[in-house]
Structure 1
Amino acid sequence: MNDQTSPAPASPELWGTIDTLWEWLETHRPVEGREGLLLRILKLSEEVGEVAEAVIGATGQNPRKGVTHGWDDVQSELCDVVITALMALRTLTPDAREVFARNLERVRERSSASPG
């Protein structure tokens, strides 16, 4: 794992990029309507499974396969989960940015308000 503290490289504007990806995905949507929305949300389960696979591979927990992944793979798969979740949220509501900001603030307040 990378425990070093170094400045992060410049990254694209998060929500602008999510909107661009969402627009592209909407024009290439193989399944329309409610079913398409549900499948996009279900995609999260697939991505989380890939995180689990990478962790198992990075730790060599499958004796038949040994070490098959590195911690960079785990990081990449976690990023895929975040992107997929934001895409699902954007599909569910055009106000994804505000919904996410409200929920992030709620979690921040809850965690800082907790005793101890």
Structure 2
Amino acid sequence: MADGRSGRRGTLAGMTDQDTPAALWPTLDDLWTRLESARTHTGTEGLLLRLLKLSEEVGEVAEAVIGTTGQNPRKGVTHTWEDVQGELCDVAITALVALRTLTPDAQEVFTRHLARVAARR
């Protein structure tokens, strides 16, 4: 299905691979609001704990990769590549929520940074 703006094939409901899902940033704001309302630590400690959550999620990616490849002989194959994909999504979500914790302008900051990275040669 072609998207009405560019004529390129859409990847999902008319979106191209260059589009951002419309609900991404509002959904991240909702997640951030929910997490903020349930926070048990505030200030610098709360911020550090939110940032450390990213390391936990990256560790879960590693665990899933090890489980997919059966690298732990005691456990064997315990995960699938779909599990790895899900864990990578958790890393991305956690990173964006952490960014939102640092600035209410997370979308702007991310978009500017992504443009700089994409322009690198």
User: Does the pair score TM above 0.5?
Assistant: yes
Equivalent of 1:29, from 39, 53, 56? 39
Q: Hey, what's the Cα distance between the residues in 1 that align with 2:95 and 2:106? A: 11
Indicate the residue corresponding to 2:18 in structure 1. Answer: none
1:20 aligns with 2:34: no
Greater percentage in helix:
1
Once the two structures are TM-superposed, the CA of residue 8 in structure 1 deviates from its matched residue by 3.9
Q: Hey, what's the Cα distance between the residues in 2 that align with 1:62 and 1:92? A: 37
Pairs aligned (count): 106
Equivalent of 1:90, from 100, 106, 109? 100
TM-score (norm. length: structure 2) = 0.82
The structure whose RCO (Cα within 8 Å, separation 6+) is larger is 1
Q: Hey, what's the Cα distance between the residues in 2 that align with 1:100 and 1:7? A: 22
Question: Partner of 2:74: helix, strand, or coil?
Answer: coil
Indicate the residue corresponding to 1:79 in structure 2. Answer: 89
Distance 1:7 1:102, change over 3 A: closer
Q: Hey, what's the Cα distance between the residues in 1 that align with 2:66 and 2:22? A: 31
1:70-100 Cα offsets, whole Å, 9 max, x none, are 0110000000000000000000000100000
* CA RMSD, Structure 1 to Structure 2 (Å): 1.7
Once the two structures are TM-superposed, the CA of residue 51 in structure 1 deviates from its matched residue by 0.1
Unaligned runs of 5+ in 2: 1-9, 16-20
Unaligned runs of 5+ in 1: 1-5
Question: Partner of 2:73: helix, strand, or coil?
Answer: coil
Once the two structures are TM-superposed, the CA of residue 12 in structure 1 deviates from its matched residue by 6.2
Indicate the residue corresponding to 1:49 in structure 2. Answer: 59
TM-score (norm. length: structure 1) = 0.86
Q: Hey, what's the Cα distance between the residues in 1 that align with 2:50 and 2:67? A: 26
Question: Partner of 1:67: helix, strand, or coil?
Answer: coil
Once the two structures are TM-superposed, the CA of residue 64 in structure 1 deviates from its matched residue by 1.3
Indicate the residue corresponding to 1:60 in structure 2. Answer: 70
